[in-house]
Chain A
Amino acid sequence: MATAREDDILIAAPALQVVQDGARRAGSYRATLARRLGKSWQIRIGATIVSLLVLTAALAPRLAVTDPTLPDVMHRYQGPSGAHPFGTDNLGRDIFSQVVYGSRISLTIGLISVGVAASVGVALGVLAGFYRRLDDPIMRVIDVLLAFPGLLLAIAIVGALGPSLQNAMIAVGISTIPGFVRIVRSAVFRVRANEYLDAARAVGVRDSRILLRYILPNISSEIIVTATLGIAGAILVAAALSFIGLGAQPPTPEWGAMANLAKDYLDIAPHQAFFPIAAIFVTILGFNFLGDGLRDALDPRLYR
């Protein structure tokens, strides 16, 4: 039996599994998945918004009307016009250009903090879910972190590191980890019950290989969904931190920081608050649609 190849496990597995895997090999799994993804209106709207956002960030220098940090005291508090599509702010800076450059900051915050949180969170979650003796110590720490709601944990971390955009990113990343660990761990629990893992172990597959080849691929949909929704959450928390002055500092055109500045001029220049808020709203909506759509499309319980 020691000479059995890993692929033999598929034959040893229950008949249904073999049929499914056969279908998968023939490419029909991918085709089904592609069809499911394309059919979802949520994914279509979400993907459109997110692509536009990425394009805006990539083309920011070309799209921007002026230097977003360039003051122009002669043209302050101007409403939207041809020269300034979103108007100008209390220092006469072009709001459209600021919003455009802000997309770079928000995307960076979302991707970096969630990237870090996902790598740490997935590693811890897989270890906690796979090795029983690691489960308790890891989850003890995670439960303490979960006793803080996300924003408070982030604020406590910024309180230690000091207010800045970079520290806000670190804080958001760390406060996103506990959620990842929770979800990955329970996903591993679900996969661990499968007989093909016993079979793999029986033919002597090493733990590291079981983790990478058998468990990770089977929990990838949970990871993708959590990460997508996590980006929305990270952008939201980072904007909130900047809004209360603990994140990006002026004149960085971060949307939350822009709204913070605008709140003192709401009576004379409401548009100064409106556009950054609208930008955040549309961005979060995009990532949420994408995440929810992916969850529905990837959930194997909903396959028909």
Chain B
Amino acid sequence: MTAYLMGRLLQAVPVLIGVSVLVFLILHLTPGNPAIVIAGPDAPPEIVRDIERSLGLDQPLYVQYAKYVSRLVRGDLGRSIQAHDAVLDHLTATFPVTLALASVGVVWTVLVSVPMGILAAYRRNSALDLTTIFAVLAGNAMPVFASGLILLYIFAIHLRWFPLTGYRSLATLDGWRHIALPAITVGTGVVPLLTRLTRSSMLEVLNQDYVRSARAKGLREAAVIVRHGFRNALLPVITVIGLQFGLLLSGAFITESIFSLPGMGRLIVTAIQARDFPVVQGGVLLFSLTFVAISILVDMAYAAADPRIRYG
């Protein structure tokens, strides 16, 4: 397992280098001089020069990249142009909110879709099975912001079951009331997908000989479904949960904007509108690192669930 982990971590290196180049380029792909974009078109030349110097724009590109990476490695992400404080502080303040949103989102998504998928497979062509087919079609065509606005309208404005906007610590009940609608929102697109996937994965497994053997030797039906069926159907489900976690994280951009959550998504969007490049770069970098970390975790879970991968 350790060897597998090391190999997997090594594979992530080129991706990380690529991510750092892309994030570095965010500042340099800007049409025109980023210093003028930041300072405004009418800014006096000395201010523009100051900004150029503070961003390191007066040096050759490869020097800038080398310096950028060496600062990254030391955990220095630069300073915000708007607020003049360390980008890292902005990220540490907002990251927990986005992580909480995505985690609660994933948990409810899995708790709903996996049992529904198993049931739909077990009772093929039942009303539940057909409902999930239509839910998938609708879910694929429904943008996250649409489901968010609909949930907001029904449950916060109309029924008043949940607060409109804002974020509280999850240590309190009030915090859970605040995170409920946003978390449901980020998961709405994923539930139908995961349900269908669990269903088709289960169907494949339920037709295997070992399931028939399990029944033949007189096991209870629940044991057949869960121990012999679901455990083998788990692999593709794990992959998709991992992939969807990435999707959930990017859904944070929209959800945080609807529910005014002080997370990374909102931080990045606000920074883009203010052309605060260091914050944009830091935010995109942390987002990408999270994705890479999750994909490694998913592969680990995969290897843990299936010995064939570990020793393959």
- Listed in ascending order, the chain A residues whose CB lies under 8 Å from chain B are 140-141, 143-145, 147-152, 155-163, 232, 236, 239-240, 243-246, 256, 259-260, 262-263, 266-267, 270, 273, 277, 280-282, 284-285, 288
Given A144-B15, A155-B272, A270-B153, answer yes or no on A240-B23 (Cβ-Cβ < 8 Å): no
Residue among B30, B143, B246, B292 facing the most chain A CB atoms (10 A cut-off): B143
Q: Is there an interface contact between A285 and B137, defined as CB atoms closer than 8 Å?
A: yes
Listed stretches B98-106, B203-211, B249-257; interface member: B249-257
Which chain B residues have a beta carbon within 8 Å of chain A's beta carbons? 14-15, 18-19, 22-23, 25-31, 37, 137-138, 140-146, 149-150, 152-153, 157, 246-247, 249-251, 253-254, 257-258, 265, 268-269, 271-273, 275, 277, 280, 284, 287-288, 291-292, 295
Which residues in B have their C-beta under 8 angstroms from that of A161? Answer: 29-31
Question: Known contacts being A143-B15, A155-B268, is A239 close to B141, with CB within 8 Å?
Answer: no
A279 smallest CB distance to B (angstroms)? 10
Bound CA span A144–B19, Å = 7
User: A263 to B273, Cβ gap below 8 A?
Assistant: no
CB distance from A110 to the nearest CB of B (A): 14
In the assembled complex, the CB of B196 is this many whole angstroms from the nearest CB of chain A, namely 13
Q: How far is the CA of A245 from the CA of B145 in the complex (A)?
A: 12
Known contacts A147-B291, A162-B37; is A244 also within 8 Å of B18 by CB?
A: no
Chain B, residue nearest A277 (CB): B146
Question: Is the CB–CB distance between B27 and A160 below 8 Å?
Answer: yes
Q: Could you tell me if A239 and B268 are in contact, using CB atoms closer than 8 angstroms?
A: no
Beyond A144-B18, A149-B249, A152-B284, 7 extra complex contacts between A and B, CB < 8 Å: A161-B29, A239-B145, A245-B257, A245-B269, A245-B273, A263-B152, A263-B258
Cβ B152 vs Cβ A151 within 8 A: no
Whether the Cβ atoms of A246 and B18 lie closer than 8 Å is no
Note all chain A residues with C-beta closer than 8 A to B14: 140, 143-144
The 6 A-B pairs of least Cβ separation, nearest first, read: A144-B18, A160-B29, A284-B141, A285-B141, A151-B250, A159-B280
Docked pose: A145 CA to B23 CA in angstroms:
12
CB<8 Å pairs between A and B, sample of 14: A140-B18, A143-B15, A149-B291, A152-B291, A155-B253, A232-B141, A240-B253, A246-B269, A259-B149, A260-B145, A263-B258, A273-B149, A280-B141, A284-B141
